[in-house]
Structure 1
Amino acid sequence: MDTIFALATARGKAGVAIVRLSGPAAFSAAESLCGPLPEIRRASLRRIVWKDEILDEALITAFASGASFTGEQVIEIALHGSQAVVQSVLRALGEVEGLRLAEPGEFTRRALENGRLDLTQVEGLADLIDAETESQRRQAFRVLSGAIGARAEGWRRQLVRAAALIEATIDFADEEVPEDVRPEVTGILSSVLTELRTEIQGSAARERLREGYEVAIVGAPNAGKSTLLNALAGREAALTSEIPGTTRDVIEVRLDLRGLAVTFLDTAGLRETIDPVEKLGVDRAVKRAESADLRVFLMSDDFQPSLEIRDDDIVVNGKADLTGVGVSGLTGQGVTELLDTVADRLQARVPASVVSTRQRHRNACERAVKFLEPALSAVVNGGYHEELVAADLRQSIRALESLVGRVDVEDLLGEIFASFCIGK
């Protein structure tokens, strides 16, 4: 296997830049630049020398095989973070025989291949790197820590137990089985099915937390939507005017709202119009509002929304500076209370007990349920063929193994690792 290297920190000038090496020649390659290595897991100051030229003074840390991020020999070189220093060290490493520059996500891929991470932890690591808010960080770290894998392994162990009981009746078909296994099998399958259905139902909400929410501000022309958006953004994000129909496109402002990533959408005023450009804006506003996670309707006396108001939507008067009631982006009245309401309603959607965060996780759980449902029905209703039930259980177990990347995911790996930077 090749030994790979790359800059593991962001490009550009910084106080410190870390270059990482991983593979069977990592130790010898580092020794060719800095001499004898320090003790394992103990950082030590060394001069980096190549072709009799001192490139930098750096902290060198060595990690042994089986006790590193990738599971291989790993060297981390903490350099002074100038671009010139980093490039000189990368050029030197590129001249060492047997080394090559890492591909995007290759360090993490090796961690997966060497059993240091399962596939859900890889996804959690990608989400942790991309996390913008505290809620996203917490969720990503929970996944990186192995929460999904632990839950999937618990389900798998229970199904293996059920399958073993069923197959025991097959093995002893010509003999008297000491006890009826159906009550225990029924209990196991019912329990796992209930948990899987709960996971499926709640995973979409977890996925929205990972990706971020959209909240559309909806109302008639001149209802105060753009002024409210500007108040939320703390800047002139949207053009405001007394002329109706000023907003033609959807304007977006992304905020960190109590740890939630929330994008507020200022949409065109909803009204009938013959202006073709404004009509396009209204049509776009309706589409974005229909797909938004939550809508804030800024109401006025003569506004009859063409969109159906959902139970969870927020309905307020949009110009409290004139009426004294509702919310006003101009004076700030009611804005804090509105943000609190938005945060409360979005946070209430995220089930604490669910750990799945992606469509892929949901698909794996749905495949497991697809085979468990007929298996349970056959056991409960009697007259079942043990061989068919056992086959269904094996397929369900396989679906759960695909969740953590043990089987059937090779075609997904390229797409997953393409989202990583080169040094990760």
Structure 2
Amino acid sequence: MVNDTIFALSSGIPPAAIGVVRVSGPHAGEALRQLAGRLPEARRAVLAELRGGGGAPLDRALILWFPGPATATGEDLAELHLHGGRAVVAAVDATLGAIPGLRRAEAGEFTRRAFLNGRIDLAEAEGLADLLAAETESQRVQALGLASGHVSRAVEGWQDRLLALMAGAEAELNFADEDDVEVGDAVTRRMVTGMAALASELEEWLARPAAEVIAEGLSVVIAGPPNAGKSTLINALVQRELAIVSPVAGTTRDVIETPLALDGIAMRFSDTAGLRGEGADTIESIGIDRARAAVEAASILLWLGSPGEAPEHPRVILIAAQADRWRGDAAAEADAARCDLTLSAATGEGMDKLHKYIVEMARTLLPREGEAALRQRQRAALAEARDWLAVETGSHEAGDLILLAERLRLASGALDRITGRAGVEDMLDTLFGRFCIGK
């Protein structure tokens, strides 16, 4: 229940140098008094002797008291900075669990209370969840921007502009007889122009990379004909024997995927079956179909084959692979001259250049500095708002003030869902379940 007082270990699993236990809710102050014998000055760390129910000493620890509502959760909050041994943490946990009115927190419950009490909005909560899961620099930067309110501030600005347009419509509809109220076609033209400008801005945001791409990693697919060196290349990239290397055509029969971070950018590298039209058995043909599907879905394509046979793709790097084998072959030299780089995964030739090519291309798929990518849920809401704001000039709707006002209301409702002001209860359980217990 929201009115319960909850507690949990909010730092790493013991043993550790420090174990931080948080207590949040109406009985947080009483719990601190029972353990420390007093309530310290607000927002000041104080050394105290913690004692259990029978007066037995538990630990000498730093205690902090944060009276609500100006706290992380929006309610009374206490922190116990313990020695981080298993026995110490377990003893304090057991003592708190025995205090009437206290219970152990569920996963993500501290953050959920922060949301419900207005300390953060839904977009910031999603960013915090991503920040906890971030493993690469690009993921950290993206999640931090979301958690810091970058998207929320943008939504607030859009809502202010919608409010101004709605106020103009309200004035025309309800106070047209007043001398100082603008009326007639001028109002509808101004509304349509304002809606179009806002729709254009939302479209620019929708054109940015999706946050899921950053979180899950850009898809980098290695493709080409059989025996082109694809498996050797992915083994060289991950520096282990991930794929079987054999001179027998058709050895790779499925898509082999592995995560890899280059220069702090999360990526998923995939080795695929060799693409050929004839000579493949039934199983290999299935692998080839999967390889073609992987190529179509790739963020970046590494093509190890004749440049003229490369699939159509917006971001393809043409690679003259196995350079250690074809040096001196005139036809192969001519093909290599048409490629972006010459490579030998076996000797390491061109690997540094390939690394640079991939990273430079990947950066074009990431948000620029100061930008934030949107999660799928946020993109759907933003696209709905854009659609409600898109009114064709000269259409019947463009001249109907009541219809324009309704479109503004619906667009505002769609934006509300980004920050969690409307209709999000079912989704909250899924979101906050991603957090650890003490968060």
TM (normalized to structure 2)? 0.88
Correspondence for 1:47: 49
Correspondence for 2:300: 294
171-180 or 114-123, which moves further after superposition?
171-180
> For 1:88 and 1:284, how far apart are their aligned partners in 2?
55
Answer yes or no: is the 8 Å Cα contact 1:167–1:387 preserved in 2: no
Correspondence 1:411 to 2:417: no
The residue type equivalent to 2:409 in the other structure is R
318-327 or 130-139, which moves further after superposition?
318-327
3-state SS, counterpart of residue 389 of structure 1: helix
Any gaps of 5 or more consecutive residues in structure 2? 328-335, 337-341
Question: Cα distance, 1:278 vs. partner?
Answer: 3.4
Correspondence 1:7 to 2:9: yes
- Cα deviation, 1:310-347, whole Å, max 9, x if unaligned, reads 13111111212223561121111111111211111121
3-state SS, counterpart of residue 390 of structure 2: helix
- Cα deviation, 1:292-314, whole Å, max 9, x if unaligned, reads 2111011159x956xx2313111
Correspondence 1:115 to 2:118: yes
- Cα deviation, 1:53-110, whole Å, max 9, x if unaligned, reads 3233322222221222101111122222232322222122111110011111110010
The residue type equivalent to 2:324 in the other structure is D
The residue type equivalent to 1:153 in the other structure is E
> For 2:105 and 2:89, how far apart are their aligned partners in 1?
15
Correspondence for 1:36: 38
2:74 to 71, 74, 95: 71
- Residues 310-325 of structure 1 correspond to what in structure 2 (within 5 A)? 310-324=313-327
Question: Cα distance, 1:270 vs. partner?
Answer: 2.5
> For 2:312 and 2:352, how far apart are their aligned partners in 1?
22
Question: Cα distance, 1:409 vs. partner?
Answer: 1.3
218-227 or 400-409, which moves further after superposition?
218-227
Correspondence 1:397 to 2:412: yes
Correspondence 1:348 to 2:364: yes
The residue type equivalent to 1:240 in the other structure is V
The CA RMSD measured in Å over matched residues stands at 2.3
3-state SS, counterpart of residue 202 of structure 1: coil
3-state SS, counterpart of residue 208 of structure 2: helix
- Cα deviation, 1:110-161, whole Å, max 9, x if unaligned, reads 0001110000000000011111111111111111111111111111111111
3-state SS, counterpart of residue 342 of structure 1: helix
Answer yes or no: is the 8 Å Cα contact 1:198–1:354 preserved in 2: no
> For 1:246 and 1:171, how far apart are their aligned partners in 2?
75
> For 1:118 and 1:202, how far apart are their aligned partners in 2?
22
> For 2:345 and 2:240, how far apart are their aligned partners in 1?
11
TM (normalized to structure 1)? 0.91
> For 1:78 and 1:381, how far apart are their aligned partners in 2?
65
Correspondence for 1:337: 353
210-219 or 38-47, which moves further after superposition?
38-47
Correspondence for 2:330: none
1:100 to 99, 103, 107: 103
Correspondence for 2:198: 192
2:65 to 62, 65, 69: 62
2:166 to 163, 167, 170: 163
> For 1:67 and 1:350, how far apart are their aligned partners in 2?
36
20-29 or 51-60, which moves further after superposition?
51-60
Answer yes or no: is the 8 Å Cα contact 1:221–1:269 preserved in 2: yes
3-state SS, counterpart of residue 181 of structure 1: helix
Question: Cα distance, 1:351 vs. partner?
Answer: 4.2
Correspondence for 1:248: 253
The residue type equivalent to 2:13 in the other structure is R
3-state SS, counterpart of residue 103 of structure 1: coil
106-115 or 402-411, which moves further after superposition?
402-411
Question: Cα distance, 1:423 vs. partner?
Answer: 1.2
Question: Cα distance, 1:224 vs. partner?
Answer: 1.5
3-state SS, counterpart of residue 87 of structure 1: helix
Question: Cα distance, 1:176 vs. partner?
Answer: 5.6
- Residues 350-369 of structure 1 correspond to what in structure 2 (within 5 A)? 350-352=366-368, 354-369=371-386
Answer yes or no: is the 8 Å Cα contact 2:175–2:181 preserved in 1: no
The residue type equivalent to 2:347 in the other structure is T
Answer yes or no: is the 8 Å Cα contact 2:345–2:351 preserved in 1: yes
Gap change, CA 1:338 and 1:176, over 3 Å in 2:
same
Any gaps of 5 or more consecutive residues in structure 1? none
Question: Cα distance, 1:175 vs. partner?
Answer: 5.5
3-state SS, counterpart of residue 289 of structure 1: helix
1:221 to 223, 226, 247: 226
3-state SS, counterpart of residue 275 of structure 2: coil
> For 1:79 and 1:241, how far apart are their aligned partners in 2?
57
Answer yes or no: is the 8 Å Cα contact 2:209–2:365 preserved in 1: no
